[in-house]
Structure 1
Amino acid sequence: MIQKDYDREPGLPAAGRPSAFPRSAWVLSDGKAGDEAQCIGVAEALKLPYDLRRVEPRKPFAWFLPKGPIDPKERETVEGSPIAPPFPDLVIASGRRAAAYLKRVKQASRGRTFTVFLKDPRTGPEAADLIWVPEHDSLRGPNVLVSATSPHRFSAQKLKSLRTSPIPEIDALPAPRIAVLAGGNSRHHRFTGDDISRFAAGLEKWGETQSSGFMITASRRTPEPLVSALKTLANGGRHLFWDGHGTNPLPAYLAKADAIVATADSTNMIGEAAATGKPVHLFMPSGGHRKIDRFLATLADKGVIHPFPGPFTATTYEPIDATPWIAQEILRAYQAKQQEDATEARRGPERAQDRQDKANS
């Protein structure tokens, strides 16, 4: 296991790319937006161009993944296959149904392609050359990277650039500006009528007592009653609500926020908020899970999260972003594999000569 050290942020080498830097990459997924965003965030941290490849296995093949075989109609030899060659130097994959395809790429490329899987592939550490999992997951191994938060696309540079760029509709909001990240129903959480009422009432109170300007986003999982309540709040003036049309303003909302309110149903969303260094006020809908509890406890210990509804907190902390570290570890492992392969190739003729000498003796 390779554990993220938050006292050290190595980043990528500043003075050019090493000779063993990958020159081509795929992002491989089964279409889930959150999984793709994590993979793209890592590729961007590597400053590496990539092709986005999506697998779409049919039933019954999809039922048996990740352990079962890939859909024969998506094998690398079939025209239009998402894993058709030429194979890249690096594949970054995520998503349960993509795991078997990643393994197939490794086989079909005769081991040349370096494979990375983000999150637990559910088939063990042998699923890829390198695996990343969040700290609250249980998978461990010598090729497993572990960090408290997930990789994402909101780099420190990107947030800094947006923070200093003029965005009139955001800049006109009263301070403190608060980004409101509303998730929705998930495997472990449900927004009941009481939850929606508590959440909306908490925002209304802050709007009155703090004279806050809210920058509100909802997700595709956000239940309609909650969307309606948030729209009503925004229509009262002094607030923004993104309706899902046009360019997603979330990066700008995070960059410009003095504080953040987020719902506890998405560890990815909370991890993105933690990259800002701004206080994250957390709303707990009904439900929960012990893995999420462990994740939240880690962030609470680091001073990231605070309860919502509750007192407004302006306390900041050192931003938490594992993405550069994950990219660095991928590069380090890739270079080690390149060196190992080169050494093996040099030893090939020597071994052939040894076999010949033995045959002649």
Structure 2
Amino acid sequence: MEVDPSKPLTIWAVSDGRAGIENQVLGLAQAIARLAPSEIAVKRVAWRRWADRLPSMLKIAPRRMLAKGSDPLSPPWPEVWIAAGRATLPLSINARRWSRGRTLVVQLQDPRWPTRLFDMVIPPEHDEVEGDNVFPILGSPHRVTPARLDEARARFARLAALPSPRCAVLIGGRSKVFDLSDAHAAALADQIARAVGSAGGSAMVTFSRRTPPSAAEALRARLSSLAGEVWDGVGDNPYFGYLAYADHILVTEDSTNMAVEAAATRKPVHILPLEGGAPRFARLHQALEARGVSRRFEGTLNAWSYEPLDETGRAARAVLEAMAARG
């Protein structure tokens, strides 16, 4: 697609502002911007309390139902609208009408609505969504790039002093299909501590919002004897620094985002088991294993290599191709 550099694409990255969702829409928007000059606007939305209780299909005047503090959604409309999350669905299905068809509406994840309501749907392969305008990818879009890792390496240079092998330990937790009890957290921590300790390495540990506080404390207590650090949530988030400096990445099986972000680094990705599970997550991890990215953690820090995933870049090229096809 030929792009006039004097007229950059306008892209809106629309979400409810939660980090995991916003990173997906921003990741795809930024990947497009690396291929074509673009201006990206972040749009965070929330519903008024009474409107949030309504089913999405009943939000028939969605812009009027947004809570105060939501970013304005008004002309001029963007050329590309990228959205993710349940909160954005009533807005996305109206964006084409508001723009009189000039905006390419891209919905990430499985919308669980008819895909024809959007111009393009980009879900994870493991959700098995089908449709003429569906472009499935392995995992989800993200913001991990070599340049971003280089930036994090300079910003968190203190991590270079940690003994190798340095292990990034990325802990999720409780969801609809997974759990992380205190007992399981303790057993997991002991297994990690033995592996890292026997290798003479260090651990760089971070928790997600889904990590139960008591489980986080169990992990923190048992990993405190290792060299390294456990991020306490204060100050600059070192997440990208951990990815940049890691020799190994250990990530719990509940997080698609963390798994595919780790898969962009070339570092061995060890999948930490949790309690529970679901077929869709089993499909994800089978696909990552088939690509040589990850292996199930069994208490050792074996090393291997693979070609890093660039599914975000592949999706970005597909969006530009869809725009070109529209003329």
Deviation at residue 213 of structure 1 after TM alignment: 0.8
Residue in 1 aligned with 2:273? 284
Structure 2: 5+ residue stretches without partners:
none
Q: 1:179 to 1:49 in 2, by over 3 A?
A: same
The residue correspondences of 1:32-111 to structure 2 (distance < 5 A) are 32-47=18-33, 48-70=38-60, 74=64, 82-111=72-101
Q: 1:304 to 1:80 in 2, by over 3 A?
A: closer
Residue in 1 aligned with 2:239? 250
Deviation at residue 82 of structure 1 after TM alignment: 3.3
Retained in 2: the 8 A contact 1:174–1:212? yes
Deviation at residue 293 of structure 1 after TM alignment: 0.6
2:209 alignment partner, one of 220, 225, 230: 220
Asked whether 1:207 is paired with 2:235, we answer no
- The CA RMSD measured in Å over matched residues stands at 2.4
1:296 alignment partner, one of 281, 285, 288: 285
Distance 1:86 1:268 in 2: 32
Deviation at residue 180 of structure 1 after TM alignment: 0.4
Q: Which amino acid aligns with 1:114?
A: L
Summarize deviations over 1:278-303 as a string: whole Å, max 9, x none. 11111111110000011111111222
What secondary structure, in the 3-state scheme, does the structure 2 residue paired with 1:214 have?
A: strand
The residue correspondences of 1:1-361 to structure 2 (distance < 5 A) are 17-18=3-4, 23-47=9-33, 48-70=38-60, 74=64, 82-163=72-153, 165=154, 167-233=156-222, 235-236=224-225, 238-337=227-326, 339=327
What secondary structure, in the 3-state scheme, does the structure 1 residue paired with 2:94 have?
A: helix
Deviation at residue 19 of structure 1 after TM alignment: 6.7
Q: TM-score, normalised by structure 2?
A: 0.90
Q: 1:81 to 1:178 in 2, by over 3 A?
A: closer
Q: Which amino acid aligns with 1:62?
A: D
Retained in 1: the 8 A contact 2:185–2:219? no
Q: 1:243 to 1:229 in 2, by over 3 A?
A: same
Distance 1:103 1:22 in 2: 25
Retained in 1: the 8 A contact 2:24–2:143? yes
Distance 1:142 1:280 in 2: 33
How many percent identity over aligned positions? 36
Deviation at residue 329 of structure 1 after TM alignment: 0.7
Deviation at residue 234 of structure 1 after TM alignment: 5.1
Deviation at residue 222 of structure 1 after TM alignment: 0.9
Residue in 2 aligned with 1:346? none
Q: Which amino acid aligns with 2:28?
A: V
Q: Which amino acid aligns with 1:133?
A: P
Deviation at residue 84 of structure 1 after TM alignment: 2.0
Q: Which amino acid aligns with 1:125?
A: T
Q: 1:299 to 1:250 in 2, by over 3 A?
A: same
Q: Which amino acid aligns with 1:101?
A: L
Retained in 2: the 8 A contact 1:75–1:84? no
What secondary structure, in the 3-state scheme, does the structure 2 residue paired with 1:265 have?
A: coil
Summarize deviations over 1:111-165 as a string: whole Å, max 9, x none. 11111111111111112111101111121112111111211000133224545x4
Distance 2:237 2:284 in 1: 27
Distance 2:56 2:250 in 1: 35
Q: Which moved more, 1:223-232 or 1:65-74?
A: 65-74
What secondary structure, in the 3-state scheme, does the structure 2 residue paired with 1:225 have?
A: helix
Q: Which moved more, 1:138-147 or 1:17-26?
A: 17-26
Q: Which amino acid aligns with 2:231?
A: W
Retained in 1: the 8 A contact 2:172–2:255? yes
Larger radius of gyration: 1
Q: 1:316 to 1:161 in 2, by over 3 A?
A: farther
What secondary structure, in the 3-state scheme, does the structure 1 residue paired with 2:251 have?
A: strand
Distance 1:333 1:20 in 2: 21
Distance 1:235 1:270 in 2: 24
Distance 1:65 1:54 in 2: 20
Retained in 2: the 8 A contact 1:184–1:221? yes
Retained in 1: the 8 A contact 2:168–2:250? yes
What number of residue pairs does the alignment pair up?
322
Deviation at residue 272 of structure 1 after TM alignment: 0.8
